[in-house]
Amino acid sequence: MALQASLLPSAITVHKEGNGAFVLKNVKSDFSPLLIGTKELKRKPLMGPIRAQTATVAPSVKEATPDGKKTLRKGNVIITGASSGLGLATAKALADTGKWHIIMACRNFLKAEKAAKSVGITKENYTVMHLDLSSLESVRQFVDTFRRSGRPLDALVNNAAIYLPTAKEPTYTAEGFELSVGTNHLGHFLLSRLLIEDLKKSDYSQKRLIIVGSITGNTNTLAGNVPPKANLGDLRGLAGGLNGLNSSAMIDGGEFDGAKAYKDSKVCNMLTMQEFHKRYHDETGITFSSLYPGCIATTGLFREHVPLFRILFPPFQKYITKGYVSEEEAGKRLAQVVSDSSLTKSGVYWSWNNNSASFENQLSQEASDAEKARKLWEVSEKLVGLA
Ligand SMILES: NC(=O)c1ccc[n+]([C@@H]2O[C@H](COP(=O)([O-])OP(=O)(O)OC[C@H]3O[C@@H](n4cnc5c(N)ncnc54)[C@H](OP(=O)(O)O)[C@@H]3O)[C@@H](O)[C@H]2O)c1
């Protein structure tokens, strides 16, 4: 069935597929949720749905004082990319509980300060620290600065990302990696590998490391099936350094495609979470999680997209696919993964149904490939100078 959406230009038609999903035809787009609603092919909860809670409650922990008495302290959470969108909304949701101090790890100090003020996060509940994930040197400096602050680390949220769907040529990080994968995956990989030592030392009762994933990297979803599809191949481009000179700028060794590079980076995020779980969960008790928070069509993630896309995307998601979630709701979801005592299971990719109930979602075959996760880990640790 094809219907002409009144909101869309006549060149673009909306088709309803047999399975109930909506597809836009006659427009080339590379961000799947514009084309396809976020209904998933396999959305089978592995356990009973857990009701989402609007208020997030951090476990209260006790810390020894010199006189032996115990005092309550706030949890400390680092959120990368907390200057806008999902990261900012999560910072706000956690700060509002009064139980968390947020370290806003951001590349633009002033923007982060203004953002915190604009949503009403009070000064005692946050600290802005500089972090540019497109520079491994900056990642190391950030870790150093954080350690010098003397704060324990109780939760790390790898949230920041860039999406360059209209780029015709690759651009590169300070160390010469293609920018999307270099920022979204390699920067976060180094950050997490370094900060796992800090998480291990924390006396907090529920320590967590979270890497934000996406439906667009999962080819077991309708959204993940819109070309260009995520595909890491045999990682030959990544192994070659992702530099576009003596190796491809794409992980699979193919031709540069900015939309695919983003989706590939999200597969890396979800594989990395699972490899962390496998290597560290039993030994440390840290909970490792990933999530798809829903389609937050209004965030700055789409800033590089064509203007028509940016105009149509939010109403399309709100009124046609119904896959839209507000930044506030998405922030509450991620805040649950940080602090809700019902989401302590490690190695899980969380999603939410239309009633905002969380459930353990299934990852695509590639995003749950244990052998690929191991190889990705080994290649990545060489690239970031850890092996
Ligand atoms: N929007 C969605 O529909 C959606 C759906 C699924 C998953 N996600 C995921 O949600 C996460 C947040 O995205 P968003 O939608 O909230 O987008 P956003 O508003 O653009 O937020 C991205 C954040 O990342 C930061 N960032 C970008 N490059 C950086 C760098 N080199 N170093 C440090 N920080 C950097 C940005 O900083 P500046 O403020 O300085 O630009 C910004 O704070 C991403 O992981 C994304 O993949 C989003």
Print pLDDT tens along the chain (387 aa): 232 232 222 223 333 333 333 333 333 333 433 333 333 333 333 333 333 233 333 444 444 444 444 558 999 999 999 999 999 999 999 999 999 999 999 999 999 999 999 999 999 999 999 999 999 999 999 999 999 999 999 999 999 999 999 999 999 999 999 999 999 999 999 999 999 999 999 999 999 999 999 999 899 988 899 999 999 999 999 999 999 998 999 999 999 999 999 999 999 999 999 999 999 999 999 999 999 999 999 999 999 999 999 999 999 999 888 889 999 999 999 999 999 999 999 999 999 998 999 999 999 999 999 999 999 999 999 999 999
| Domain hosting residue 380, numbered range | 75-384
Ligand 1 centroid vs 130 CA: distance in angstroms?
15
For 79, list phi and psi in degrees, rounded to 5: -120, 120
Within-domain flag for 28: no
What pLDDT, on the 0 to 100 scale, is given for residue 46?
Answer: 34
Q: Is 54 inside any structural domain?
A: no
Tell me whether residue 12 is in a domain. Answer: no
> Order of strands across the sheet with 22-25?
2-3, 13-16, 22-25
Residue 121 lies in a domain: yes
For the CA of 303, the closest atom of ligand 1 is: 20
Please tell me the predicted confidence (pLDDT) of residue 72.
80
62 is a domain residue:
no
The residue among 25, 30, 8 whose CA lies nearest residue 258 is: 30
Rounded to two decimals, the pTM is 0.86
User: Tell me, what's the pLDDT at 223?
Assistant: 86
For 348, phi then psi, to 5°, come to -105, 145
Q: Which of 79, 108, 129, 159 to mutate to test the pocket of ligand 1 (most atoms within 8 A of CB)?
A: 159
Distance from residue 159's CA to the centre of ligand 1 (Å): 6
DSSP state string for 186-216: IIHHHHHHHHHHHHHH---SS-EEEEE--GG
The secondary structure element, H or E, covering residue 28 is: none
Residue 221's CB is within 10 A of a number of other CB atoms, namely 29
Ligand 1 centroid to Cα of residue 205, in Å, is 29
Residues contacting 138, CB < 8 A, separation 6+: 107, 130, 131, 132, 174
Number of domains in the chain: 1
CATH number at residue 137: 3.40.50.720
Asked whether residue 234 is domain-assigned, the answer is yes
Pairing of the two strands 61-64 and 70-73: antiparallel
3-class secondary structure, 74 = coil
Q: Which two tokens stand for residue 347?
A: 């190695």
CA 17–ligand 1 middle distance (angstroms): 31
Kindly report the three-state secondary structure assignment for every residue of 227-252.
CCCCCCCCCHHHHCCCCCCCCCCCCC
Q: Residue 107 falls within a domain, yes or no?
A: yes
Which residues have C-beta atoms less than 6 Å from ligand 1?
Answer: 80-81, 83-87, 106-108, 111, 131-134, 159-162, 183, 212, 214, 292-293, 295-297, 299-301
Question: Are 305 and 19 spatial neighbours (Cβ–Cβ below 8 Å)?
Answer: no
Strands 2-3 and 13-16: antiparallel
Residue 22 and residue 14 in contact, taking contact as beta carbons nearer than 8 Å: yes
> Would residue 213 count as lying in a domain?
yes
Of 109, 308, 240, 268, the C-alpha closest to 180 is: 268
Nearest atom within ligand 1 for CA of residue 295: 3
Q: What is the DSSP string of 53-70?
A: -SS--PPPEEEE-TTS-E
